[in-house]
Amino acid sequence: MPRPAVNVAVRAARAAGQIILRYMNRLESLDIIEKQRHDYVSEVDKLAEAEIIRELRRAFPRDAILAEESGASGKSKNVWVIDPLDGTHNYLRGIPHFCVSIGLLENGEPTLGVVYDPLRDELFTGDRGNGAYLNDRRIRIGKREGLGGALLITGFPYRQRRHLDAQLNMTRALLVEAEDIRRTGSAALDICYVAAGRVDGFYEIGLKPWDMAASCVMVREAGGRYCDFAGRDGFPPSGNLIAGNVSVANAIVKTIAPELPPILALP
């Protein structure tokens, strides 16, 4: 049975989702700030994040928090990692692919995750040892045995455009074997799609902890694997992430290896 903490995170994610939906009909009036080049935040991100933090603080006042907009607060072996609106670019343009992501790191490892797509009312939950679910239905990673016929999903490193050539070279190499590659704009939701078997594998450069903490739990609990670009298992400090079933993840690691600059192979 999932821990009570899952229910708290679900409640927080749904509350944030309601805020996100409430503002969808007035996007043109939102205050939007460019945090850095190609990286935007809106007042909706901040309102949704504040609601999540309020729910978590009420239930777990001693836990630490790492949130995309407000940063880190508190010190604890338990750290709640929050992305209140993953896919802000999509949201602000009316593209229907974004989510709320809430993960729990215990001693640095993801152990609990909730990812909520408010538009589709799809709720992904994962809890260490208790499986991964989509709206209370157990999900399992796909059974693809390699890159042949695989549908992959990725994102381009807008925070790290210096790695764009490497990303394009890796993508070119993977397309030689894979069926196709998608780029949809919400890493947290994309990785959940891997866990649910909707796509076969994921790779991306330079993710932040809030982009992947929750959905990595989903992949592992659905029977999959996540690792860094060099194939090292575990939550990657580099943010360079590969996810899929064991066969697909191994095939991605092997295929991109010749295209990998040394800096991207670092832990």
pLDDT of residue 38 exceeding 70: no
Residue pLDDT, tens place only, 121-144: 999 999 999 999 999 899 999 999
What fold characterizes domain 4-138? Fructose-1,6-Bisphosphatase; Chain A, domain 1 (3.30.540)
| Average pLDDT across the chain, whole number | 91
Q: What is the mean pLDDT of residues 102-106?
A: 98
Give the domain ranges of the chain. 4-138, 151-265
Give the pLDDT confidence score for residue 160 in this predicted structure.
65
The band of 173, judged by pLDDT with boundaries at 50, 70 and 90, is very high
Give the pLDDT confidence score for residue 45 in this predicted structure.
86
Rounded CA-CA distance 39/22 in Å is 23
pLDDT of residue 32 exceeding 70: no
Give the pLDDT confidence score for residue 102 in this predicted structure.
98
Residue pLDDT, tens place only, 145-167: 999 999 999 998 766 667 788 88
Rounded CA-CA distance 83/92 in Å is 16
Q: How many CA atoms lie within 13 A of 159 on its CB side?
A: 12
pLDDT of residue 238 exceeding 70: yes
Q: List the CATH code of the domain at 151-265.
A: 3.40.190.80
Give the pLDDT confidence score for residue 164 in this predicted structure.
83
Comparing 4-138 with 151-265, is the CATH topology the same?
no
The band of 261, judged by pLDDT with boundaries at 50, 70 and 90, is confident
Two tokens at 111?
């152990």
Q: What is the mean pLDDT of residues 74-89?
A: 95
